[in-house]
Amino acid sequence: MRSRLLQSGVLLTTLAVMAGLLPAPAAAQCSRVVFSANPDYPPYHWAEGERIVGASVALTGRILDQLGVAWEARHIGPWPRVLKSAEHAQIDLVVSLKPTPEREAYLVFTRAPAFPNPMAVFNARARPLKFEQPQDLVGKTGRRTAGDRFGDAFDKLAAQSLTLEDADRLSVNFQKLAAGRIDYVVTGLYTGRARLLQMGLAERITPLPRLVNEGFIHHGFSRRSPCAALLEAMNAGLEAARRDGLAQRLLEEALLQWQNRQPAARRP
């Protein structure tokens, strides 16, 4: 088993090296932007069939339409797969995510944020948690959606001192919290509220008043995509959308869209 697997590894490495020798993709033209996002992050974005929909898609689509660039909001799969696809330039753009040093290695982020996205700790109302500072979570069992990051300081603490497990879906985390199997869930404030409303758990699970941070989420172009050339234009579009309140309006519309979804379309 080992020898063939090693051969496969050598072959894959060879292919990767060959890919690196090919002409730089930045030399190519960006005629169409394929973008994606976390498929489980309402009201910013969520998966519906093969598409991603939500406020991020509406905002990005408008900006790209104004630029006269064709686009597609594609459902790639789970969140870690979306990030990995951008790293390998299988998609051009990841919308509305938090910039982190780890992600900046393969994504170039817009300076202007797309939306505000405060991060919160959710706990069960029946088992209240004290949270004045992140260190209060040491010794408790928490969960997050795989691939989620909350800011450098919190992420470092999580890696070093917190018991913060990954799950593939936010709904699974909230179910476990409601069942008393974990102590808290960390996620975006609006995303958590939207998901709890949909699950009918908004009365049992609540965000703590102290936020993890007052974060913003930005767009990140794959560094290996020719469409990274659109960074400045996207930046200007996001800045204008924030200035005239378009981003906030789209977020509110998306929240309504999320709440009014048909039950059959609820699970991506």
Partner 1 sequence: MNRRTGIGRLAIRHALLAAVLGVTIGLGFSVLQVGDDDRASVAAERREILQMLAVMREPAAQACNNLNTQAAQVVVQGALSYVPVQSARLVSDFGETLAQGRHDAAAATGADAWWTRFIAPTQSYSLPLSFGAAHKRMWAN
Q: Write out the residues near partner 1 by the rule CB under 8 A.
A: 1-5, 8-9, 12-13, 15-16, 77-78, 80-81, 84, 88, 146, 165-166, 168
124/182 with CB nearer partner 1? 182
Q: Are residues 227 and 86 in contact, defined by beta-carbon separation less than 8 angstroms?
A: no
Positive or negative CA dihedral for 27, 28, 30, 31?
A: positive
81/249 with CB nearer partner 1? 81
94/120 with CB nearer partner 1? 94
Least CB distance to partner 1 at residue 186 (A): 17
Cross-strand pairs, 71: 33
- SS3 category, 82: helix
CB atoms within 10 A of CB 228: 20
Q: Provide the pairing of β-strand 163-167 with 141-145.
A: parallel
Q: Provide the pairing of β-strand 32-36 with 70-73.
A: parallel
80/116 with CB nearer partner 1? 80
63/164 with CB nearer partner 1? 164
158/238 with CB nearer partner 1? 158
Largest Cα separation within the chain, whole Å, is 61
Least CB distance to partner 1 at residue 80 (A): 4
Helix 189-199 vs helix 170-178: angle between axes, to the nearest 10 degrees? Answer: 70
Residue 62 has which token pair? 């408008």
Least CB distance to partner 1 at residue 133 (A): 27
